[in-house]
Amino acid sequence: MKILVCISQVPDTTAKIAFSDNNTTFNTQGVTFIINPYDEWYALVRALELKESGPATAVHLVTVGKADAEPVIRKALALGGDEAIRIDADSNDPYSIAANIADYAKAHNYDLVLCGKESIDYNNGSVGAMVAELLDMNFLGFASKIDVAGTTVTVKREIDGGEETDACELPLVISCQKGVAEARIPNMRGIMAARTKPLTVVAGAAVAAVSSITGYEMPPAKSGVKMISADNMDELVKLLHSEAKVI
C-alpha cells in the first residue's frame, strides 16, 4: 500500500501577522513557517505508523509551493517519509492546490491519500474532499482513528453529538484530526537522513484558480474587562443584556 501525505506550509502561530499593498497581501517578512500541525502530527505520523506496523510499503509527501517550502518538507522527511514531491506552483486557491495534488497522485497510483482536516492559516478544510473528487475516490473526513486490514480501512470520525465508525475499501482519501496519532519530534538520525532523501520538483498543472483573496483584515481588538462585584447580580444581568447581548 502506497500512501501519499499532503503537506502544507503555514505561518508559525507565534508569528506577528501583517499585511501590505493596502491589505491585499500577506507580508511574509520575518515570518517563520512550519508544517501545518494537522498534516504533521496526525496525517504524517499515522502514515508512518502504518508503514512501521506493516500495511504500508511507502510513505511519500507532497506539497504545492515554491522553493521556499523545501525546508518545511525536509523536516517532514526527517520524521520518516521516504521521499517528497514539491509541485512548483503558488496559489492560495484550494481548488488549484487540490487539482495539482490529484494530477500527481493519479499518475503514481497511490492507495491512500492522507491530509490534515484543515490548514491553520486559512482554515478552509476543503482540499482533501476536492482531491478525492478529482481522483474519483471515496472520502472520509475528520478521522480520529484509522485502522487498515487488507484493502479495508476502518475510520472512527467525529460527528455532531458523537462519533461514527465507517469501513471503506481502498483507494481512499482521509482527512485527519486530533486522536488519530501521537505527535513525534524528528531525531538526529532522521534529520541527517532527510538531507539525502529524494525531493523531486515537478511542474505545476495548468489549473485555473476559481477563487482569489481580495483583502485581509485583522480581528477587532478585544475590549477591556469589566469587574462586577459578586453581590451586584442586577448589574451583571443588565450588562449581559445591554452590552454583551448574550441574554
**pLDDT on residue 59:** 97
Instruction: Point out which residues pair with 63 in neighbouring strands.
Output: 86
Tens digits of per-residue pLDDT, 25-39?
999 999 999 999 999
Q: Which residue has the cell 488549484?
A: 96
**pLDDT on residue 218:** 87
The CATH number of the structural domain formed by 2-221 is: 3.40.50.620
**pLDDT on residue 187:** 86
Neighbours of 238 (CB within 10 A): 13
Alpha-carbon distance 41 to 147, whole Å?
17
List the domain boundaries for the chain.
2-221
Alpha-carbon distance 100 to 73, whole Å?
17
14: which DSSP letter? Answer: T
**pLDDT on residue 7:** 96
Question: According to DSSP H, which parts of the chain are helical?
Answer: 37, 45-53, 70-79, 94-108, 127-135, 188-194, 233-242
**pLDDT on residue 222:** 79
Show pLDDT as tens, one digit a residue, over the chain (247 residues): 999 999 999 999 888 889 999 999 999 999 999 999 999 999 999 999 999 999 999 999 999 999 999 999 999 999 999 999 999 998 889 999 999 999 999 999 999 999 999 999 988 899 999 999 999 999 999 999 999 999 999 999 988 889 999 999 999 999 999 999 988 888 888 988 898 999 999 999 999 999 988 999 988 887 778 888 888 999 989 988 998 888 8
**pLDDT on residue 183:** 87
> By the 8 A CB rule, do 40 and 159 touch?
no
Which among 131, 137, 135, 138 is positioned nearest to 95, based on CA atoms? 131
> By the 8 A CB rule, do 131 and 99 touch?
no
- CA 3 from chain centre, in angstroms, equals 16
Q: Is 145 helix (H, G, I), strand (E, B) or coil?
A: strand
**pLDDT on residue 227:** 87
